[in-house]
Structure 1
Amino acid sequence: MDSTSARASPFSSPKPAALLKKVVFTWSQETGSPASVCVRIHGKIFNLHMLPLISRSRYFKKALIESSSDVELPHSFPGGSETFEMVALFAYDSPLPLDPFNVSALRCAAEFLQMTEDQTSRNLCETSDLYLNQVVLQSWDDTLIVLQTCQTLLPMAEELLIVSRCVESLAFMACMEILDPEQRRDRPVPTLQALAGRPWDSEAVKEVAGQDLWIKDLIALPFQFFRRIIRSLRRQGMKEKYVSPVVVFYANKWVLSKKTHKFWENTAEEDGAGTAGNKVSAILRGILELLPAANSAEIVPVTFYFALLSMSLSLNLTDSIRLKLQDLVAYHLHLAQAEDFLLPDNTLQNIASSPELKTMERVVSIHVSSRNETTAANSSSTVAELWDIYLSQIAVDPKLGPDRFMKLVETVPMVDRDTHDHLYKAINTFLSAHPWVSNEEKARLCSNINCQKLSQEACIQAVQDELMPLRLIIQALFVQQLHTQQAFKHCSESFRYLHCGEFSGSIPSSKCQVPKSQKLDESPHDLAIGEEAPVVSLGSLMKEDLSLKGPAHGSKAENESTRFRIQALEKKLASLKHSLQNTSKGSVETDLKTVSFRLFAMEGSTVARRNPFGHVSGCIGSLSWTAQRKYANRLLKVFRKIAMLGKGKSKVQQMASGHPNGSLSCRSKSLH
Structure 2
Amino acid sequence: MEVEVEVEMSPAAAKAAVFSPYSSPSTALLLQRRVVSWAKETGSPATVSVHVGDRSFNLHKDPLVSRCGYLRQAILRCGDGDGEVVELPASFPGGSEAFEVIGLYCYGDAVALDPFNVAAVRCAAEFLDVSGLGARCDLYINQVVLQSWDDALIVLQRCQPLLPVAEELLVVSRCVESLAFMACMEILDPDGDEQRRERDQPGLLAAAAARGLAGRRWDAELVKELAARDLWIKDLVALPFEFFRRIVLALRRQGMKEKYVSPVVLFYANKWVLSKKTHKFMASTDTGDGETDANRRATAILQGVIDLLPLESSAATGGAIPVSFYFALLARSITLELSDESQTRLRELVASNLQFARVDDLPLPEPEQDAGGQSIAGSPEVRAMESIVASHVSMQRRGAEAVAELWDRYIAQIVGDPKLRPDRLAELIGVVPAGDRKSHDHLYEAIDTYIVEHPGLSGDEKASLCGHLECRKLSHEACIQAVQNDRMPLRLIVQALFVQQLHTHRAFTECSDSFRCMHSGELLVPVSGGQAASAGVLQQLHWLHAVGIAAAVRE
Q: Distance in 1 between matches of 2:515 and 2:37?
A: 120
Out of 473, 479, 489, the residue aligned to residue 453 of structure 1 is 473
Out of 99, 108, 111, the residue aligned to residue 84 of structure 1 is 99
Q: Distance in 2 between matches of 1:39 and 1:127?
A: 24
**Structure whose alpha-carbon radius of gyration is higher:** 1
Give the secondary-structure state (helix, strand or coil) at the position aligned to 2:64. helix
Task: Say yes or no: does 1:404 pair with 2:424.
Answer: yes
Residues 170, 9 of structure 1: alpha-carbon distance in 2 compared, 3 angstrom cutoff = farther
Residues 248, 453 of structure 1: alpha-carbon distance in 2 compared, 3 angstrom cutoff = same
Matches within 5 A, 1:208-607: 208-269=226-287, 275-294=293-312, 296-297=316-317, 298-315=319-336, 317-346=338-367, 348=371, 350-372=375-397, 375=398, 379-490=399-510, 493=513, 502-505=520-523, 523-524=538-539, 536-542=542-548, 544-545=550-551, 549=553, 557=554
Aligned length: 513
What residue in structure 1 maps to residue 10 of structure 2? none
Q: Distance in 2 between matches of 1:240 and 1:469?
A: 54
Give the secondary-structure state (helix, strand or coil) at the position aligned to 2:389. helix
Q: Distance in 2 between matches of 1:315 and 1:518?
A: 59
What amino acid does structure 2 have at the position aligned with 1:417?
A: R
Task: Say yes or no: does 1:190 pair with 2:198.
Answer: no
Q: Distance in 2 between matches of 1:450 and 1:323?
A: 35
What residue in structure 2 maps to residue 20 of structure 1? 31
Give the secondary-structure state (helix, strand or coil) at the position aligned to 2:30. helix
What amino acid does structure 1 have at the position aligned with 2:234?
A: K
Task: Say yes or no: does 1:140 pair with 2:149.
Answer: yes
CA contact (8 A) 2:327 2:361 kept: yes
Can you list the C-alpha shifts for 1:398-418, whole angstroms capped at 9, x where unaligned? 111111101111111110111
Residues 396, 271 of structure 1: alpha-carbon distance in 2 compared, 3 angstrom cutoff = closer
CA contact (8 A) 1:9 1:101 kept: no
Q: Distance in 1 between matches of 2:291 and 2:41?
A: 51
What amino acid does structure 2 have at the position aligned with 1:15?
A: S
Residues 519, 162 of structure 1: alpha-carbon distance in 2 compared, 3 angstrom cutoff = farther
* 1:75 Cα offset (Å): 1.5
Give the secondary-structure state (helix, strand or coil) at the position aligned to 2:56. strand
CA contact (8 A) 2:517 2:524 kept: no
Q: Distance in 2 between matches of 1:490 and 1:180?
A: 57
What amino acid does structure 1 have at the position aligned with 2:111?
A: L
What amino acid does structure 2 have at the position aligned with 1:190?
A: A
* 1:491 Cα offset (Å): 5.5
Give the secondary-structure state (helix, strand or coil) at the position aligned to 1:70. strand
CA contact (8 A) 1:277 1:317 kept: no
Q: Distance in 1 between matches of 2:291 and 2:78?
A: 39
* 1:503 Cα offset (Å): 3.8
What amino acid does structure 2 have at the position aligned with 1:365?
A: A
Structure 1 window deviating more from structure 2 (484-493 vs 129-138): it is: 484-493
CA contact (8 A) 2:376 2:420 kept: yes
CA contact (8 A) 2:494 2:548 kept: no
Residues 387, 519 of structure 1: alpha-carbon distance in 2 compared, 3 angstrom cutoff = farther
Residues 25, 331 of structure 1: alpha-carbon distance in 2 compared, 3 angstrom cutoff = same
What amino acid does structure 1 have at the position aligned with 2:465?
A: L
Task: Say yes or no: does 1:113 pair with 2:131.
Answer: no
What residue in structure 1 maps to residue 218 of structure 2? 200
Q: Distance in 2 between matches of 1:30 and 1:269?
A: 51
Structure 1 window deviating more from structure 2 (320-329 vs 85-94): it is: 320-329
Residues 518, 356 of structure 1: alpha-carbon distance in 2 compared, 3 angstrom cutoff = farther
Out of 40, 45, 60, the residue aligned to residue 71 of structure 2 is 60
What residue in structure 2 maps to residue 46 of structure 1? 57
* 1:427 Cα offset (Å): 0.6
Give the secondary-structure state (helix, strand or coil) at the position aligned to 2:206. coil
Q: Distance in 2 between matches of 1:20 and 1:491?
A: 100
Residues 151, 12 of structure 1: alpha-carbon distance in 2 compared, 3 angstrom cutoff = closer
Give the secondary-structure state (helix, strand or coil) at the position aligned to 1:88. helix
CA contact (8 A) 1:478 1:523 kept: no
What amino acid does structure 2 have at the position aligned with 1:205?
A: V
Q: Distance in 2 between matches of 1:272 and 1:15?
A: 39
CA contact (8 A) 2:517 2:523 kept: no
Q: Distance in 1 between matches of 2:120 and 2:23?
A: 18
* 1:31 Cα offset (Å): 1.6
Out of 158, 161, 166, the residue aligned to residue 152 of structure 1 is 161
CA contact (8 A) 1:306 1:329 kept: yes
Return 5+ residue gaps in structure 2 as ranges: 1-18
Residues 131, 9 of structure 1: alpha-carbon distance in 2 compared, 3 angstrom cutoff = farther
What residue in structure 1 maps to residue 6 of structure 2? none
Give the secondary-structure state (helix, strand or coil) at the position aligned to 2:252. helix
Normalising to structure 1: TM-score of the pair?
0.72
Task: Say yes or no: does 1:70 pair with 2:85.
Answer: yes
Give the secondary-structure state (helix, strand or coil) at the position aligned to 2:200. coil
Give the secondary-structure state (helix, strand or coil) at the position aligned to 1:46. strand
Q: Note the aligned Cα RMSD (angstroms).
A: 2.8
Can you list the C-alpha shifts for 1:135-167, whole angstroms capped at 9, x where unaligned? 111111111111111111010000000000000
Q: Distance in 1 between matches of 2:302 and 2:218?
A: 17
Normalising to structure 2: TM-score of the pair?
0.86
Residues 299, 186 of structure 1: alpha-carbon distance in 2 compared, 3 angstrom cutoff = closer
* 1:538 Cα offset (Å): 4.4
CA contact (8 A) 2:22 2:117 kept: no
CA contact (8 A) 1:104 1:162 kept: yes
Residues 466, 222 of structure 1: alpha-carbon distance in 2 compared, 3 angstrom cutoff = same
Q: Distance in 2 between matches of 1:162 and 1:10?
A: 19
Can you list the C-alpha shifts for 1:198-240, whole angstroms capped at 9, x where unaligned? 0001122123222321111011100010000000000100000
* 1:324 Cα offset (Å): 2.8
What amino acid does structure 2 have at the position aligned with 1:326?
A: R
Can you list the C-alpha shifts for 1:359-413, whole angstroms capped at 9, x where unaligned? 11111111111234xx2xxx11111111111111111111111111011111111
Can you list the C-alpha shifts for 1:182-202, whole angstroms capped at 9, x where unaligned? 888724442221011000011
Residues 28, 447 of structure 1: alpha-carbon distance in 2 compared, 3 angstrom cutoff = same
Residues 327, 496 of structure 1: alpha-carbon distance in 2 compared, 3 angstrom cutoff = closer
What amino acid does structure 1 have at the position aligned with 2:286?
A: A
Residues 496, 307 of structure 1: alpha-carbon distance in 2 compared, 3 angstrom cutoff = closer
* 1:465 Cα offset (Å): 0.3
Residues 489, 307 of structure 1: alpha-carbon distance in 2 compared, 3 angstrom cutoff = closer
